[in-house]
Structure 1
Amino acid sequence: MGIAIGIDLGTTNSAVSVVRPTGVPEVLRNKEGDTITPSVVLFQSFGGADEPLVGEQAKRQAAAFPEDVVQYVKRFIGDPTWRFDASSGTQYSAEEVSAIILKRLKEDAELALGEEVTDAVITVPAYFDDARRTATAHAGQIAGLNVLRVLNEPTAAALSYGVEADANGTVLVYDLGGGTFDVTILKIDGTSFEVLATDGDRNLGGFDFDNALMEYLNSRLVEEGAPDCLDDSSLTAALREKAEYAKKALSTVPKTNVQFSAEGHHYRVPLTREEFEECTLSLLNRTEEVIADVLKAAELTWADIDKVLLVGGSTRMPAVRALVERISGKSPELDINPDEAVALGAAVQATLAGDVEVSTEQVGSKATIEGFLGGSVQISDVTSQALGIILYDAEGATFNHVVIPRNTKVPCTHEQNTRTLLDGQNALDIQVTQGEDRDPELVTVVGTGELSLPAYPKGAPLKVIYAYDVDQTVRVEVIDLTANASLGSFNIERVANLRPEEVEEAQRKIGGMEVN
């Protein structure tokens, strides 16, 4: 058996890690020598065949070749309509682009370890729905990995923190990455990690802070006589790069100069940290609202929170730390690397889930996972999305009925009584949803299924049993209450995800591709 790795597949950056035979979790360096790989793909065509370039070199060419570069694909994972049209004429789904990034990470890990990598745990935002989780697992399969588990990012960070420090207590994880944001509250007791509540915003991250700063800088440049950069894809890409650099600079210094060239003219825009924080204040306020919602869902106050973990590169912004300290009255923990914690925790989970031998001998002063060995780790998670079913009311109109509320502990089951609608009805069609709204138009149908029924009169009683496992996979069983017998069970057929034959086709497509 090959080595099991942990992968933080991020919106803007990704990382891969492993637990060494000594029991020490470690983030691996890529072939450029960096621990972080930008989640950017440049599609290059040679002789009609695509040879994608992944990482820092691809990111540097985004301004020169904006039409050939894919960034932030994580925001589209699980969207069956999204496609990228490469200049070669080949189309790529979000799963396939993600698989290209994962393939590069897998190859980098094999280069660093000198061994074949077969298994992986891949992390996702805690609030990701069924379609996005399944699509992430498919991306791993397409990349040639056996996906042991799709793990929530805050849980992974907590695992990493549990290795490094005395983590016992109630912990709030504030995870602001490049493209996503979520908040999770966990209760940690030794090797027990119990998630109490989670929520997030899939369209809030460093990318959005960059966008806000881009718009501000663009207005300043236009005032100086520059063209509107947002009307030109190359200038937009160049300005995005400048905005990102300025944002990072202002995390360590109070002011900076943004140098920009357009149409043969050079411009300089002085920028202060206060100006940046003012133009991004509404985004920061959105994170505060999510925190309040999660505390309410967990039925806790700040007085009940023992520690706060900041995860994700975007938490390096001083305004984030200031916000957390202001609303909580607590200083965030410093014993955690916001860029590496998720990947390290994924490696811990991969080691626990895989058939991996780890020494229990302490080596040097580095923390090991010795205390996590022997099957003692317990991770209790919750549903990040409400699970429901489409029903008919007395007038025949459809509505969404929540079966399993958000933040219910998993695994779990729920029973729902229903009746046949027609005389001689010969089938029961089931549409499973994720979302809390009663209006079917405002929730997501994640899967459908059908079971045959006996020819009973209208109103025959049925019982539908829903099972939700730790990977948030849904299984449905229908009981005929007239005959007191099971009519059968099935896994929900996911409408937003690739079919098995499509995954196999994508494996052949990406597997034979040279990724640099």
Structure 2
Amino acid sequence: MAPNPARTLGIDFGTTNSVLALASGETEADMVRFAAPGGTSSVFRTALCFWQEEGVRGGLAHEAGPWAIEEFLEFPQGSRFIQSFKSVAANAAFETAGLFEKRFRFEELGQVFLEHFLKHAGAAVRPLPERVVVGRPVRYVGARADEALARRRYDAMFAALGREVHYVYEPVGAAFSFASRLSEPATILVADFGGGTSDFSIVTVREPGAPQRCVPLASSGIGLAGDRFDFRIMDRLVLPQLGKGGTYRSFDKVLEIPPGHFADFGDWSRLAMMRSKKTLERLHTLRQSATDPEAIARMIAVVENELGFGLYEAVGGLKRALSSQDHAELVFEDEGLSIRAEVTRAEFEDWIAPDLARIGETVDAAMAQAGLAPEAIDHVFLTGGSSLIPAVRALFSARFGEGRLASGDELTSIAHGLAMIGQSADLAQWVARDEA
């Protein structure tokens, strides 16, 4: 058996958050912590902020993570804030993002993000380990996700590291992390709920000390998760105040406002791009013919005043509150827009019921692929922020029983497992099957 590499780096490049972990032994992996403005944390927001600045090469300065949020909040109307750009990796319709006078391809945004991600990690990742393991979703976001395109974009993005990169399914990384807790053989199902995708893997774990401790059996995924749940709240509570469902006059007819005007509010990667001359001209024209012009004026205020970040923070706060409370209030107050709405957990669960049904079907597909009945699963490990939603947990409790469910390290388990997989002498067996 080949010796383990000296150091390996696990990178969980997530839709909402990204995490780094370093391993230097078969059972040892440490999270990289960031001295962020809001306090030290191992979780780094997958966000970018760009602004114009004289004296900077190209005239465009940028930051990432918590520092990007800090820059944006300090000067929102003079900057461009981008979050969840991972969600366009497999989208052939996305070519470039226009930021001031420049246009950035996906891989260029990714390279800027990696530059700051590693810079803020500091000495912990210097020198950069020779072996790098990067997580990837089982299924990318999008109804027509182009996996080959996503792979090319990932390759171009991570080429900036100057290292060979090994791609591993994200839930497999979480499975490897969870397996390190076990002291006896077991078959485990890992459910990873990210911002953009929900991914599932089934793994057999052998006894400690076995030459091949873990054996992957099956994987499945679907391109919906936490961001979709957020949009359900936006769609019910926010968009009606911005004109969705309203009408406009066209000559002697009254027509419904086309839903395309509101599509960008469902995707952070597109919402950040709405503040353009062309979009604002279109909205001002719509306001002139709208039956309720004040609603369109509120939408214009959201776009012009860069209120999208604050809106989604409020929506995310409501979602998190409903994970521990039977009801909560959405509160948002800013220029041109005021929203207060009481929501019960039952209402929220009704809104996301269609999404949960599709997630359940994806879990069943993984079980069918593995050829296993629910009784054959010893442990179900739930990870990712949306795994804390009671209705999500109930989906697994109904299938496997509450006693088999486990959770913990919801935001860091993937990176932890990826770093440990990097220590494996048999790394090739963990590489995502279409990456080999």
TM range (shorter): 0.7 to 0.9
Alignment of 1:445-460 (within 5 A): none
Note the residue ranges of structure 1 that are not aligned, 5 or more in a row: 353-374, 385-470, 473-516
Alignment partner of 1:182 is 2:192: no
Partner of 1:496: none
Alpha-carbon separation, structure 2, partners of 1:104 and 1:54: 6
Q: Is the 8 A contact 1:110 1:116 kept in 2?
A: no
Q: Is the 8 A contact 2:382 2:407 kept in 1?
A: no
Q: How far 1:197 moved relative to its partner?
A: 2.0
Alignment of 1:344-359 (within 5 A): 344-352=416-424
Change (3 A) 1:377 1:168: farther
1:340-382, Cα deviation, whole Å (9 max, x unpaired): 1100011112334xxxxxxxxxxxxxxxxxxxxxx37784667
Alignment partner of 1:210 is 2:222: no
Alpha-carbon separation, structure 2, partners of 1:164 and 1:110: 29
Q: Is the 8 A contact 2:27 2:180 kept in 1?
A: no
Alignment of 1:42-191 (within 5 A): 42-47=49-54, 48-59=58-69, 61=72, 64-65=76-77, 68-79=80-91, 81-87=94-100, 89-112=101-124, 115-117=127-129, 119-127=131-139, 129-142=147-160, 144-166=161-183, 168-190=185-207, 191=212
Q: Is the 8 A contact 2:167 2:432 kept in 1?
A: no
Query: Partner of 1:252: helix, strand, or coil?
Result: coil
Amino acid of the residue matched to residue 95 of structure 1? E
Match among 310, 327, 330 for residue 382 of structure 2 = 310
Q: How far 1:5 moved relative to its partner?
A: 1.3
Alpha-carbon separation, structure 1, partners of 2:344 and 2:78: 29
Q: How far 1:263 moved relative to its partner?
A: 4.7
Query: Partner of 1:280: helix, strand, or coil?
Result: helix
TM-score relative to the length of structure 1? 0.63
Which of these two proteins has the greater Rg computed from alpha carbons?
A: 1
RMSD of the alignment, in Å? 3.0
Q: How far 1:140 moved relative to its partner?
A: 1.3
Match among 20, 31, 35 for residue 31 of structure 1 = 35
Q: Whose strand proportion is higher, 1 or 2?
A: 1
Change (3 A) 1:209 1:94: same
Partner of 1:368: none
Alignment of 1:88-487 (within 5 A): 89-112=101-124, 115-117=127-129, 119-127=131-139, 129-142=147-160, 144-166=161-183, 168-190=185-207, 191-202=212-223, 204-218=224-238, 227=295, 232-233=302-303, 234-263=306-335, 266-334=338-406, 336-352=408-424, 375=425, 379=429, 383=433, 471-472=435-436
Query: Partner of 2:328: helix, strand, or coil?
Result: strand
Q: Whose helix proportion is higher, 1 or 2?
A: 2
Alpha-carbon separation, structure 2, partners of 1:30 and 1:186: 32
Deviates more, 1:327-336 or 1:167-176: 327-336
Alpha-carbon separation, structure 1, partners of 2:215 and 2:26: 27
Q: How far 1:173 moved relative to its partner?
A: 1.4
Note the residue ranges of structure 2 that are not aligned, 5 or more in a row: 141-146, 244-291
Deviates more, 1:38-47 or 1:188-197: 188-197
Amino acid of the residue matched to residue 34 of structure 2? N
Percent identity of the aligned residues? 24
* Count of aligned pairs between the two proteins: 360
Q: Is the 8 A contact 2:329 2:341 kept in 1?
A: yes
Alpha-carbon separation, structure 2, partners of 1:22 and 1:293: 32
Q: How far 1:236 moved relative to its partner?
A: 4.0
Q: Is the 8 A contact 1:161 1:336 kept in 2?
A: no
1:87-141, Cα deviation, whole Å (9 max, x unpaired): 1x22211112122222222223333466555542111012353432342232111
Structure scoring higher RCO (CA < 8 A, sep ≥ 6) equals 2
Amino acid of the residue matched to residue 53 of structure 1? E
Query: Partner of 1:122: helix, strand, or coil?
Result: strand
Change (3 A) 1:294 1:54: same
